[in-house]
């Protein structure tokens, strides 16, 4: 499907979350997945209206939740270079385990639930 108004270099699919504390979510993504900020737009009070962080060739988008737009959680599957390392970083950053690293038919895999309720399934090929 062609999307002529998609910015150059942007993936076709980007997960989008609404989280209660966007600044803590940024810290989590940076500490666990080595994400890099692409864009952060704030209102006059400093609340994140919209943010985009790059993780390798992907983009995670999110904003601070509000009364009108409550938190929205999701699940994400991603490939990583070292499942154990990412899992340990996530646990140290306040995640809970959905499944400790284990060798599966499709690679070394684990799952974590971040402090915001999102589940990240991570697999090393």
pLDDT per residue over 83-117, tens digit each? 999 999 999 999 999 999 999 999 999 999 999 99
| Structural domain that includes position 32 | 16-124
Cα dihedral across residues 32, 36, 41, 45: positive or negative: positive
82 in a structural domain = yes
Q: How confident is the model at residue 4 (pLDDT cuts 50, 70, 90)?
A: low
- Residue 66: partners with Cβ closer than 8 Å, 6 or more residues away: none
Q: How confident is the model at residue 51 (pLDDT cuts 50, 70, 90)?
A: very high
Dihedral pair phi/psi, residue 45, rounded to 5°: -95, 0
Strands 58-64 and 48-55, how do they pair? antiparallel
Q: What percent of the chain has pLDDT over 90?
A: 89
Domain count, the chain: 1
Return the CATH number at 115.
Answer: 3.10.180.10
56 in a structural domain = yes
Directed axis angle between helix 83-92 and helix 22-33, to 10°?
Answer: 150
Question: Can you say whether residue 33 is alpha, beta or left, with left for phi > 0 and alpha for psi between -120 and 50 degrees?
Answer: alpha
pLDDT digit string (tens) for 25-50?
999 999 999 999 999 999 999 999 99
1 in a structural domain = no
74 in a structural domain = yes
Q: What percent of the chain has pLDDT over 70?
A: 97
**Which one, of 125, 96, 123, lies nearest residue 112 by Cα?**
96
pTM of the model: 0.92
91 in a structural domain = yes
């Amino acid at each position: 499907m062609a999307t002529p108004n998609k910015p150059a270099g942007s993936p076709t699919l980007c997960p989008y979350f609404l989280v209660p504390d966007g600044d803590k979510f940024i810290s989590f993504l940076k500490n666990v997945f080595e994400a890099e900020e692409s864009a952060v737009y704030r209102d006059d009070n400093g609340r994140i209206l919209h943010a985009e962080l790059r993780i390798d060739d992907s983009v995670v988008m999110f904003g601070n939740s509000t009364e009108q737009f409550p938190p929205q959680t999701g699940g994400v599957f991603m490939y990583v270079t070292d499942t154990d390392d990412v899992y340990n970083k996530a646990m140290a950053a306040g995640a809970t385990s959905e499944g400790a690293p284990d060798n599966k038919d499709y690679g070394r895999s684990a799952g974590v639930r971040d402090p915001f309720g999102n589940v990240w399934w991570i697999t090393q090929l």
